Chains A and B, each alone.
Chain A
């Protein structure tokens, strides 16, 4: 291309320059499927953590992922959120967004929120600050430097504080919360970002029975408007929330269906429920 052409291309009046364009792409869910995971393979030094894994998550559903320790549940979430690169396979968010070519920050900004297996909150910050940081907002350097909370955002934080039951602890350092409260705070941080898809890894670990019940309630109430994928070992908990359950085994999907179907599935009984009733 000649310099003239390049200049013309750059100066086109019907287009804005790429760096001025609004990059927030919308998720195309015209086929009701929000997440496509196909033929995913990943090995760590020869050990196949993910083995030709296929998974489709519908928009608005609440899906439970179960599987024995080391089945690859967390690894799957790592691949979806950009933490780990897979060897082969595809991951699409909606019809058009290829997640494998994006990094963690970009994927988060697209509306995929994640709660880790081990609760990770910012311990040196107050509960309030943790939520402020998770707020859906422009996350580049200069806007963040100038950002202040407007009243709408305050209300939003208040609302989330109410939902996660940490209103009284708002000014406490996150590091001084109990394990269960940290789990809740992390869920709250997810809610602040207003994500389309929530990936929740073992949310009730370390919670009392009552806390677990409240979590179950919360997650069920979120489904519909949002899409929720929950990894959990606690079968009681899974039974209480799940519509569809996917069983992972050695890095691939072993079975999928309602809780009853799963419990009666011969393969599942053999490899999973058989071992850990």
Chain B
């Protein structure tokens, strides 16, 4: 058994750190189990997984996807974005607008066209940017296009003028803060500080039903797996190698002929789109999107998830996001006010003692184990029952 393990380990060493495949398998198995335990088990069974848990898991997976987006840009290209919450929220708002239009005349005011908050503001017709959002495909297009376009514009301006490092991070914070302020305004037409909520159904399926919840959870898991595999593949292409080269020596990359700003812009767009998708999957599961999602602190939290998991590993970012958010759920139940301090402490500890995050720790332990195995190549017998 243990020789099998060490075989596997040397295999995975030669083939690079491919933890993606095993992780996807685990993720899908857990998803399948949790889903069937929710739908098939009677409520009083010990194996029953409550719908609340399913939704919570779905939420974690959305955060994981968001962490993946940040890791792609930070871990692989060294661009520390402290504004990814903005892309997440924009994707969420696009989905929220669709869900809002799905309410139809079931709102408090019973207006078939206008969402409640517009009736309340005495608006007589839909603003132009709400047109077409009752079509699912239009909304989904917007989920990708709006964050993508904003990332393109921002990236084009910032990377072409060669803004890097702290300055870039500050700019991304400013971006999300500016959006926070504008989405708070009622005149923007996104529901002001209440945001968009009271959703009824999605594509005709009741959002409150267990089946819809489980389906959303499964879609999130599949999407996360798909994007994880895609990101890994992209990083294995020559494009991905250029991205890492830019992280480690941008001017060197320029001197061998790569227009590094273009690479950075497109990676930024890709990353923003992942964040948008995460936001779009998040909103129907939690049932609300409001300007709070734009708050700068949210974007900083994402970076901490990635740092905890280990940046530049993809899988690590996902694990980090799930673990930290699980801790957050537990922690805030006991001490709601202490969370920010705990988060800060976690960040300091990880930076000081685990610069490569949990994934780095795992790799270190594995190395040590491998060394032990190599040091005793002859006592196979001992290994057998170890």
| Chain A positions near chain B (C-beta within 8 angstroms) | 81, 83, 103-105, 108-109, 113-114, 116, 120-125, 129, 132-134, 139-141, 144-148, 189, 193
Q: What sequence of 0s and 1s flags, for each residue 223-253 of chain B, a beta carbon within 8 Å of any chain A beta carbon?
A: 0000000000010011101101101110111
Task: Check if B255 sits within 8 Å of A108, measured CB to CB.
Answer: yes
Query: How far apart sit A18 and B201, CA to CA, in the bound complex (Å)?
Result: 50
- Contact among B234, B249, B252, B253 for A145, CB-based, below 8 A: B234
Total A-B contacts with CB atoms under 8 angstroms apart: 79
Given contacts A125-B245, A132-B238, A133-B241, contact A81 B255 (CB under 8 A): yes
Main secondary structure of the interface of B (DSSP, over half): helix
B257 at the interface (CB under 8 A from A): yes
CB distance from A146 to the nearest CB of B (A): 8
Task: Check if A144 sits within 8 Å of B256, measured CB to CB.
Answer: no
Query: How far apart sit A192 and B241, CA to CA, in the bound complex (Å)?
Result: 16
Nearest CB to that of A104 among chain B residues? B254
Which A-B residue pairs are the 4 nearest by beta carbons? A108-B257, A104-B254, A145-B239, A147-B238
- Contact among A83, A108, A122, A189 for B244, CB-based, below 8 A: A122
Given contacts A120-B249, A123-B248, contact A105 B242 (CB under 8 A): no
Query: How far apart sit A146 and B266, CA to CA, in the bound complex (Å)?
Result: 15
Nearest CB to that of A116 among chain B residues? B252
- Contact among A109, A124, A129 for B257, CB-based, below 8 A: A109
Query: How far apart sit A277 and B247, CA to CA, in the bound complex (Å)?
Result: 41
B12 at the interface (CB under 8 A from A): no
Query: How far apart sit A141 and B247, CA to CA, in the bound complex (Å)?
Result: 16
Query: How far apart sit A113 and B257, CA to CA, in the bound complex (Å)?
Result: 9
Provide the residues of chain A in CB contact with B262, threshold 8 Å.
Answer: 140-141
Provide the residues of chain A in CB contact with B259, threshold 8 Å.
Answer: 103, 105, 139-140
Query: How far apart sit A138 and B249, CA to CA, in the bound complex (Å)?
Result: 20
Given contacts A122-B252, A125-B245, A141-B262, contact A147 B237 (CB under 8 A): yes
Task: Check if B238 sits within 8 Å of A133, measured CB to CB.
Answer: yes
Task: Check if A125 sits within 8 Å of B244, measured CB to CB.
Answer: yes
CB distance from B255 to the nearest CB of A (A): 5
Query: How far apart sit A81 and B254, CA to CA, in the bound complex (Å)?
Result: 10
Provide the residues of chain A in CB contact with B8, threshold 8 Å.
Answer: none
Task: Check if B238 sits within 8 Å of A144, measured CB to CB.
Answer: yes
Task: Check if B254 sits within 8 Å of A105, measured CB to CB.
Answer: yes
Nearest CB to that of B247 among chain A residues? A124
